[in-house]
Amino acid sequence: MTKSANSITAASLQHRLFRQLLLDVETEYSNLIPHMEARWFSITEVLQHFINLTNEVKTFLKSKIEVVAFLADVTKKLIV
């Protein structure tokens, strides 16, 4: 959970894209709880927040993998 959340919130571009995805799918949350803020909440609140956004996190991370796979395919075609 922490690794996934940090990979999204650490880079500002990734974080902005994830927040836009949350706006597009109209979730009740507008953001993940960043690691720095998580220490002020109980672990139960942080876990529940992440669990509620699990589908959105999966969608976001899957889209990033698809982009990398596409770029790898294009690069392979250019080299050959």
Q: In the chain, how many domains are there? A: 1
Q: How far apart are CA 80 and CA 59, in angstroms?
A: 32
Q: How far is CA 26 from CA 29, 39, 62, in A?
A: 8, 26, 19
| 32 touches 8 (CB < 8 A) | yes
In the block, residue with structure tokens 């942080």: 46
For residue 34, the model assigns a pLDDT of 60
- The boundaries of the domain holding residue 75 are 2-79
Report pTM: 0.59
Q: What is the pLDDT of residues 27-79, one digit of tens each?
A: 887 777 665 555 556 777 778 888 899 999 899 988 888 888 888 888 888 88
For residue 2, the model assigns a pLDDT of 66
| CA neighbor of 34 nearest in space, from 16, 46, 25, 43 | 46
